[in-house]
Amino acid sequence: MRSSFDHPRRLRRLAVVGGLAATLTLGTVSAAVGGVPAQGSSDAGLTATATGATGATGALKDYDQEIVDRFDSANSVGHIRRLAVNIGPRLNGTPQEREGAEYIGGVLKSYGFDVTLQSWGPVSTKSVAKVTSPNADLPGGPNWQMAASTSAKFTGNDAAVEGRVVYARTGQSAADFPADTAGKIVLMDYSTTASVRNTAVVNAVSQGAIAVILAHPAGNNAPPSFTLTTAQPNIPVMGGGSAHHTWIKDLLDKGPLTLRITTNQYVNPMGTNVIGIRRAVGDPDGTKAPIVMVGAHIDSVLGAPGAHDDASGNGVSLEIARVLSQYPLDKELRIGGFGGEEGGLLGAKAYVNTLTAAERARFVGEWQMDMVGTPYEPARLWALTPNGQSNHVVQEAYNAGARVGFDGLRNCRLGQSDHQAFFDVGIPSSLFIWLDYRPPTPPAVCGPTGGTYVTEPQYHRPTDTMDNISPERLQITLDVVGGAVAHNALNAVTVSAVSDGGRPLAGAPVRADCGNGPRDLGATGADGRLQAVLPHTTCDFTTTVDGRVANERGVSIAGDQAVKMTVDLTKPTISLTTPADGAVFTLGTAATASYRCDDDLAGVATCASTVPDGSALDTSAVGFHEFTVNATDKAGNAADKKVTYQVVYPWKAHFPETMDGKAGSAVPIKFGLGGDRGLDVIADGYPVSQPVACDSGKATGTAEPTVGPGNSKLGYGDGRYNYVWKTDKRWSGTCRTFELKLDDGSSHFTTINLK
Ligand code: BES
Ligand code: ZN
């Protein structure tokens, strides 16, 4: 049969949503009070779910998202099972607390952490019974723990008592005992009255019992510790919880039950912490890098497997450690497993006492996880601080929640876990806990006033087993707390996009390739900036604005820093020397095209015209010619420069600028064009003549073609052109300007005074 803890990776995100959906239908926490918004049905859930390893563009996701995608609560569940089931209850100062530390340390070592087991103490003497079965499948796990009475025998580990179990009700009279009690382990109802308990044990011993269990017959009780008025030095006597009572009775109903019992007294034992440290890349000796720490407590209360309280915290810590160990980091990562939390935060206090002032000053924060995923419906995820105030650790968890679409996190006031020890020495810390916490009634607010809470029924009980673990809620804790820790463990990089004019560019999509393909980091905000987190690596950054690409290549990301990309939005410049605009060349003369393009930022990509720079300019045809240079830069900006040059005949005038003539006569206008260019050298509509004032030369009428009076014509001979201009006799006594415009665009004038 498949247990509810099987948690297929593929369905993980789906399961988170499903788990929340279940939460939503039942959500009933108090309304918004004291500045703490309600965690009602509308706001307790994941509203956005990410799927797959790549974003919509096909590029890799940013590191925040990538890391959260890698967290898998199935791994946390595995660690919780090792602690709560394989090891079982881990009372402070017992070998099981140390085994828990060793397990956690072994896992951290396998992730490359330097691991230290820290012994501290001594602590108060512990008297415990370990109850197992050689053949029965014990409910709640194979390792039961009860309270060993100090008035009875401590067997030690080598003299276990093993035998069948009989039930003898209250054990107050011989009739309560089965006939075959001798040689058996006797279960009886625990009484709150000392004399009743004493009588029961005395009676059992006289019946030949080899061990006595007094277990709460009803309710939901932890194993009781008690002494006896009549000491029983020959057999072990122990107190069991009501769950033990129920479980044993149920097993007995099915058939014979054999239990194996050892009782031990650990006199003023030492407690154990496990600390895993992963040094920052740039600070292998651990003297300067910021420290990001997560913590959980290893120990559980007597009798409780402590699956939720607090194997769950370690399960999440270890999964955070696993995923983060895959990245080179410039922050020092510390994973704390503290013993003796249930004894009064003893291990965490011992740990913070070992920190020097310089070390404390390096702490970014401590994210304490204690009870991070019970299926108990009314529980919600809380960030609780000793003073009820938010702090960096809390705020970062809110931010991480926002990144995964979880808006169910709330902040209020509570100590009662290891975060208090860090708070007390000035290290920002918070307790993350799935708890039915009720904030103070308005007008009281969280901070000055704390709330009240109701724990799940399994809390501090033998029933705090794997059934008290919700993989879905563990996953939310991983995403929120683990997401915050990862965000703080990576380098904070401010990527800005500015135009080459220095203007911030909003909405610029930023991509980074840090060696394994392009990665979408998001888009810049209104200030042209984007906050991203990156491991210790080297990345090429790219952004594209208006089709213009900017790069910042080979940026070595070591520590928190800024990366600036300047987007070249300026066109390349073109300087055109030859031909200059309006330049005039004589037909057939040699001229060399000369131009260049410049682009200070991205650099020139292309710079071209019909004639390459340095090649001959075309002067083989008269008239006006356009010359265009096209340039592009490597950012994609384009520019062009267009000029016009003129190619003209080698002109020679064989007529004066002014002359006298007789109206009605033919005036020869002679000129040279450097040879015979044919007779089609005059521009259409030309020559023209126009009346002008003889004194000033100012036009007095409109220009008219010389064809008007008739018979004007062009001829060529002896290396010269001769245009015979027939004047009009009616023009007598006037002055006229004659304009000869050629098909090379040039005009030539003479003014004639007509008699
Ligand atoms: N996991 C609890 C902390 C807790 C439980 C906080 C319920 C809030 C509600 C922790 O292990 C614990 O039991 N702490 C003790 C206090 C400690 C100083 C001995 C407690 O709350 O009684
Ligand atoms: Zn706890």
pLDDT tens digit sequence for 415-460 = 999 999 999 999 999 999 999 999 999 999 999 999 999 999 999 9
**Residues in the chain, overall count:** 755
Q: How far is the CA of 338 from the centre of ligand 1 (A)?
A: 14
Contact 403, 349 (CB under 8 A): no
Q: How far is the CA of 441 from the centre of ligand 1 (A)?
A: 22
Contact 663, 650 (CB under 8 A): no
Q: Which ligand is nearest to the CA of 437?
A: 1
Ligand 1: does its nearest atom lie under 6 Å from the Cβ of 435?
Answer: yes
CA dist 544 → 430, 431, 507, 567 (Å): 41, 43, 10, 8
**Backbone region of residue 691 per phi and psi (left: phi > 0; alpha: psi in -120 to 50; beta: other values):** beta
CA dist 149 → 198, 460, 709 (Å): 11, 20, 144
pLDDT (average), residues 594-611 = 95
The protein residue whose alpha carbon is closest to atom 21 in ligand 1 is 416
Cα(384)–Cα(395) distance, integer angstroms? 12
Helix (H) / strand (E) element for 607: namely: strand 604-608
Q: How far is the CA of 325 from the centre of ligand 1 (A)?
A: 30
Reported as a pLDDT band with limits 50, 70 and 90, residue 602 is confident
Cα(415)–Cα(426) distance, integer angstroms? 14
Q: What is the dihedral of CA 36, 37, 40, 42, to 10 degrees?
A: -150
Q: How far is the CA of 417 from the centre of ligand 1 (A)?
A: 6
Cα(250)–Cα(742) distance, integer angstroms? 122
Single-letter residue type at 439: P
Strand 363-369 relative to strand 452-454: parallel, antiparallel, unpaired? unpaired
pLDDT one-digit tens code per residue, 150-180: 999 999 999 999 999 999 999 999 999 999 9
pLDDT of residue 45: 39
- The CA-based angle 402-404-410, given to 5 degrees, is 45
Contact 309, 418 (CB under 8 A): no
Pick the more confident residue, 750 or 20: 750
Strand 747-754 relative to strand 658-661: parallel, antiparallel, unpaired? parallel
Reading the block at residue 383, the tokens are 């960030």
Q: How far apart are the first and last CA of the chain?
A: 129
pLDDT one-digit tens code per residue, 652-669: 999 999 999 999 999 999
pLDDT of residue 149: 98
- 70 in helix, strand or coil? helix
The protein residue whose alpha carbon is closest to atom 16 in ligand 1 is 416
H helices present in 207-339, as ranges: 242-254, 312-324
Range from 53-57, 100-104, 471-475 carrying the lowest mean pLDDT = 53-57
Contact 456, 467 (CB under 8 A): no
- 482 in helix, strand or coil? helix
Ligand 1: does its nearest atom lie under 6 Å from the Cβ of 434?
Answer: no
Range from 52-66, 234-248, 526-540 carrying the lowest mean pLDDT = 52-66
Q: How far is the CA of 278 from the centre of ligand 2 (A)?
A: 25
Ligand 1: which of 97, 371, 416 to mutate, most ligand atoms within 8 Å of CB? 416
Ligand 1: does its nearest atom lie under 6 Å from the Cβ of 312?
Answer: no
13: pLDDT strictly greater than 50: no
Q: Return the ligand 1 atom nearest residue 309 CA.
A: 1
Q: Return the ligand 1 atom nearest residue 297 CA.
A: 11
Q: Which ligand is nearest to the CA of 417?
A: 1
Ligand 1: does its nearest atom lie under 6 Å from the Cβ of 416?
Answer: yes
Q: Return the ligand 1 atom nearest residue 453 CA.
A: 9
pLDDT one-digit tens code per residue, 38-47: 343 333 333 3
19: pLDDT strictly greater than 60: no
pLDDT one-digit tens code per residue, 201-224: 999 999 999 999 999 999 999 999
Contact 226, 149 (CB under 8 A): yes
Cα(363)–Cα(36) distance, integer angstroms? 28
Cα(692)–Cα(737) distance, integer angstroms? 7
Contact 532, 497 (CB under 8 A): no
Contact 609, 546 (CB under 8 A): no
Range from 321-325, 471-475, 710-714 carrying the lowest mean pLDDT = 710-714
In the chain, the largest separation of any two C-alpha atoms, in whole Å, equals 166
The residues with which 594 forms a beta bridge, in sequence order, are 578
Q: Which ligand is nearest to the CA of 382?
A: 1
Which residue bears the tokens 């929340």? 20
Cα(661)–Cα(735) distance, integer angstroms? 10
Ligand 1: does its nearest atom lie under 6 Å from the Cβ of 212?
Answer: no
The protein residue whose alpha carbon is closest to atom 4 in ligand 1 is 416
Q: How far is the CA of 244 from the centre of ligand 1 (A)?
A: 23
193 Cβ neighbours under 8 A, 6+ residues apart: none
52: pLDDT strictly greater than 50: no
Which among 600, 602, 597 is positioned nearest to 630, based on CA atoms? Answer: 597
Reported as a pLDDT band with limits 50, 70 and 90, residue 357 is very high
The protein residue whose alpha carbon is closest to atom 13 in ligand 1 is 342
| Mean of per-residue pLDDT scores for the chain | 93
Contact 235, 212 (CB under 8 A): yes
pLDDT of residue 58: 84
Ligand 1: does its nearest atom lie under 6 Å from the Cβ of 344?
Answer: yes
pLDDT (average), residues 532-542 = 98
Ligand 1: does its nearest atom lie under 6 Å from the Cβ of 453?
Answer: yes
Cα(368)–Cα(302) distance, integer angstroms? 22
Q: How far is the CA of 127 from the centre of ligand 1 (A)?
A: 21
What is the pTM (predicted TM-score) of this model?
0.82
pLDDT of residue 55: 59
Which among 544, 553, 543, 546 is positioned nearest to 638, based on CA atoms? Answer: 546
The protein residue whose alpha carbon is closest to atom 6 in ligand 1 is 416
Ligand 1: does its nearest atom lie under 6 Å from the Cβ of 311?
Answer: no
Cα(234)–Cα(33) distance, integer angstroms? 59
Q: Return the ligand 1 atom nearest residue 435 CA.
A: 9
Q: Return the ligand 1 atom nearest residue 343 CA.
A: 19
Which among 629, 319, 700 is positioned nearest to 483, based on CA atoms? Answer: 319
Range from 22-36, 130-144, 621-635, 741-755 carrying the lowest mean pLDDT = 22-36
Reading the block at residue 229, the tokens are 């008025």
Reported as a pLDDT band with limits 50, 70 and 90, residue 709 is low
Ligand 1: does its nearest atom lie under 6 Å from the Cβ of 342?
Answer: yes
